[in-house]
Structure 1
Amino acid sequence: MDRRNFLKHLASLSALLASGAWVGCAPSTSATTRRMPLRVGASAANPTRKRSPVALISAIDRREATEKALGMFSIVLRGKRVFIQPTLHSRKPSPYSTHTHILATLARHCRSHECTELAVGTRHPDQPTAPLFRAKQLPTMARELGFDLLAIDELPSHQWRHVRPEPSAWEQGFALPRQVLDADVYIQLTTALVGDEPPHLKMALHGARGLLGRRVPGTEHNLFEELASSADPTARQLELVEARPPDLILLDAIDVDMEPRRYERCGVFIAGVDPLAVDAVGLALMRRYQTPDVLADGELFDHPLLRAAASRGSMISSASEIELLSDEASAPLAEELGARLGI
């Protein structure tokens, strides 16, 4: 790529960043020297529409992929309180849990950019979280890199906030940790999994479940039981996302779990600021392979979770609002996924 086109692509990304596409983040004035040469995908038919950027990075090395993503989506960290939520479905490696190389790279980045507070927290829905943290040696990492490690299922009652949207699908509202609601910057680390239960897609929109409190503060009302007994948990799940949307999402799709005991080496790292946009691109990626029937049928935005999220007005409303960004290596993939998305 020549210098003229390189500067043109940087200008396109700068316009997206300046549009205020995410809360609590701003472009760094010194970040352009760290950005990769970009290719803008095929979604520029309406240049006046604000589009949500989703970056595709061809990668096998997760440290390098994380650094590239952070260079493309520069956020102000100096003087900020940062909360990082990794994926922790089990003690198994990615895609069942966030790879430690990603978490360590991100933690070092936050500390080197002088954040004032750094917390890493999530929970396993069925098992005690702290033993899973120990199995992945996260307490040692926390001491070495200087962050607070929060097993959310062990938080005391005063660390929970009662959230009551109006209207709400939840019977009595729900509870989220004070640390994530008070954070200036919330970064979600997710993976690509096919779930056993509806809506089956376990990526960015599913990640908020890892922040849910078991009970409504001050009551015996069990939120996990309410969610499990719901005929359709989608509306409740999306309210969790809306209560505190991520400021940056890093989706590790280097390895993807398509169904039990079958993995695909996709070799792709996805980064974005809108959970629906990230999941739409992630689903388009998964459909390149032998996809389970629950994810394979219909248009991408006909998937129940994506359709419900698009109807709420808090995220993108269609694929035309996605701006695909790629480096040179992932440009052919960006073209293919753009075609699958219809952009």
Structure 2
Amino acid sequence: MSGLNSVLDRRRFIRNVIMLGAGILSGVGLPAPVFARGKSRVVLVKTDDRALGVARALAEFDLSGFRGATVALKANYNSADPFPASTHPDTLRALTQGLKDAGAGPMALVERSGMGVTARVLEELGVHDVAREVGFKVVVMDRLGADGYVHHAPLDSHWKKGFLLERHFAEADRVVQTCCLKTHQYGGHFTLSLKNAVGAVAKYDPATGYNYMNELHGSRRQRTLIAEISQVFRNDLIVMDGLRAFVSGGPHAGRQVEPGVIVVGTDPVAVDAVGVAILRLYGTTPEVARGAVFEQEQIARAVELGLGAATPEDIELVPLGPDADNLARRVREELA
């Protein structure tokens, strides 16, 4: 295993040097490496109160870097279907209020729905009410022109033309996302933090009309393409709402279970690995249940790119709340 880790470490180093150079040459700010020395901490809060769960999890992280920082927010508003298809308003409220209490500067929630008209989806799900209450801007990607995006063509990518990342995610001081815990019946297999970043990419190129989502969903490498977005989509904080989950179907409907957990981290690979492990504990689809967690294509490609934890041993689980120790033990067993 030590030989494998050394190879992965070299890959991360080479990738980070290349990405840094690309950022300097293009003048576009790129995310700092999310994989640091030591383990990737993932907090598991067992709770039936999402507001308290989010607050308790955030208390485990140093948020001093958010003080005065501009923040780009990505939630899960692919359709107007209620949680767990979409971000629960209480989760959005607890997360944004927690960031505001930490001293965050201007915050912008940026969204694009894949199964509905974005503006209508946000209105139906009460997003604007939360925005007015807490005090953040809402950006509808459907209304943006070419200047609303930054083109990225990572050197190690299977995207034919690269892709357009919404500008807030490229330029904000901090990027935060909140995702749901669910399977994905249209080729993604599961839709957690790595898949949630797809909503930060333009559906169409406003200048040429090229359809990036047709490319993604028509590709036999769909799960690989999903992971490759996170070469440029940074994650300074990830909040996964797993109070309920879809263990089949998804992303808009499916068989529901109640894990009763809030999962928080900064490493999308670690967070998604833990999410997949939880889905498997409840009996999920053959695609998600098959093989080792780190052999899942989204996760394996993200590991190959050096985007986070490379093995289950790289993840430090921090259980909080009643029966959280038992959940953490079961997750560790599933990861191993």
Q: 2:212 aligns with which of 218, 223, 231?
A: 223
Paired residue secondary structure (1:165):
coil
2:331 matched to which residue of 1? 337
Q: How many Å apart are 1:115 and its aligned residue?
A: 2.1
Deviations 1:101-144 (A, max 9, x none): 11112222222333221111111124210001110122222223
% identical equivalent positions: 28
Could you say if the C-alpha distance between residues 24 and 289 of structure 1 is closer, same or farther in structure 2, counting changes exceeding 3 Å? closer
1-structure distance, mates of 2:164, 2:185: 25
2:185 matched to which residue of 1? 196
Deviations 1:39-70 (A, max 9, x none): xxxxxxxxx96110011100111100110111
Paired residue secondary structure (1:337):
helix
1:131 aligns with 2:120: yes
Any unmatched runs of 5+ in structure 2?
A: 1-30
Q: How many Å apart are 1:286 and its aligned residue?
A: 1.2
2:301 matched to which residue of 1? 308
2:273 matched to which residue of 1? 280
1:193 touches 1:257 (CA, 8 Å); kept in 2?
yes
2-structure distance, mates of 1:49, 1:62: 31
Residues paired across the two proteins, number: 299
Counterpart amino acid of residue 69 in structure 1: A
Deviations 1:153-205 (A, max 9, x none): 22232111111212431222110111111111111100111111223111111
1:51 touches 1:321 (CA, 8 Å); kept in 2?
yes
2:146 touches 2:205 (CA, 8 Å); kept in 1?
no
2:201 matched to which residue of 1? 212
Counterpart amino acid of residue 121 in structure 2: L
Counterpart amino acid of residue 193 in structure 1: K
2-structure distance, mates of 1:72, 1:277: 16
Q: How many Å apart are 1:290 and its aligned residue?
A: 2.1
Residues 245-254 or 138-147, more deviating: 138-147
1:54 aligns with 2:42: yes
1:12 matched to which residue of 2? none
1:317 aligns with 2:306: no
1:148 aligns with 2:148: no
1:16 matched to which residue of 2? none
Q: How many Å apart are 1:279 and its aligned residue?
A: 0.9
Paired residue secondary structure (1:121):
strand
Any unmatched runs of 5+ in structure 1?
A: 1-21, 26-47
Paired residue secondary structure (1:213):
coil
1:65 aligns with 2:65: no
Counterpart amino acid of residue 333 in structure 2: A
1-structure distance, mates of 2:133, 2:320: 33
**Superposition CA RMSD, Å:** 2.0
Counterpart amino acid of residue 52 in structure 2: E
Could you say if the C-alpha distance between residues 24 and 110 of structure 1 is closer, same or farther in structure 2, counting changes exceeding 3 Å? farther
Counterpart amino acid of residue 270 in structure 1: V
Residues 59-68 or 196-205, more deviating: 196-205
